[in-house]
Amino acid sequence: MFQLCFDCMWMPLCPQISVLIPECGILPANISSVLHSFSSYYLVRDLPVYQLLEETFLESLVKKGNFYALSYNTKIDEDNAIALLSSGQLILSLDKDTYEQLGLEGRPSLYNHKKAMRFVVTLDLTDKSLTPGTKRYQRVLSSLKDRLPLRYDFLFTKYNTGSDEDQTLNKLLSRYSYEEHKPAFSHHTLKNIPCPTLYPSDIQGKTLSCDPHHFLEWLGAVNLDISCENAADSFLSTYVCPEPQSSVSQALLCTVTGFISPENVFVLLQELRQYFDDPKFTPWISLTVHGFMDSPVSWGATEHGFLKGGENLYNFVCFKNQDYWLHMATGAQDGCPP
212 closest CA partner among 328, 98, 333: 328
pLDDT at 81 over 70: yes
Question: CA-CA distances (angstroms) from residue 219 to 20, 99, 189, 228, 243?
Answer: 9, 41, 15, 10, 14
Angle made by CA atoms 267, 288, 286, in degrees to the nearest 5: 80
User: What global pTM score does this model have?
Assistant: 0.89
Cβ–Cβ < 8 Å for 7, 229: no
**Across the chain, what does the average pLDDT equal?**
87
Has residue 336 been placed in a domain? no
Q: Total structural domains in the chain? A: 2
Same domain for 194 and 325: yes
Element (H, E) at 253: strand 245-260
Has residue 143 been placed in a domain? yes
- Termini Cα distance of the chain: 14
Whole-number percent of the chain with pLDDT over 90? 53
Has residue 338 been placed in a domain? no
Span of 142-156, 235-249, 274-288 with lowest mean pLDDT = 235-249
Question: CA-CA distances (angstroms) from residue 27 to 13, 137, 225, 253, 281?
Answer: 26, 49, 19, 9, 15
Could you say which of 133, 153, 181 is where a domain stops?
A: 181
Has residue 337 been placed in a domain? no
Same domain for 170 and 214: no
Has residue 141 been placed in a domain? yes
Residue 206 is predicted with a pLDDT of 59
- For residues 285-292, give the mean pLDDT: 93
Element (H, E) at 108: strand 107-108
* Domain hosting residue 46, numbered range: 41-181
Same domain for 286 and 268: yes
Same domain for 174 and 191: no
- For residues 108-128, give the mean pLDDT: 90
Has residue 335 been placed in a domain? no
**What SS3 state is found at 104?**
coil
- For residues 168-194, give the mean pLDDT: 93
Could you say which of 125, 152, 181 is where a domain stops?
A: 181
pLDDT at 2 over 50: no
Could you say which of 139, 160, 181 is where a domain stops?
A: 181
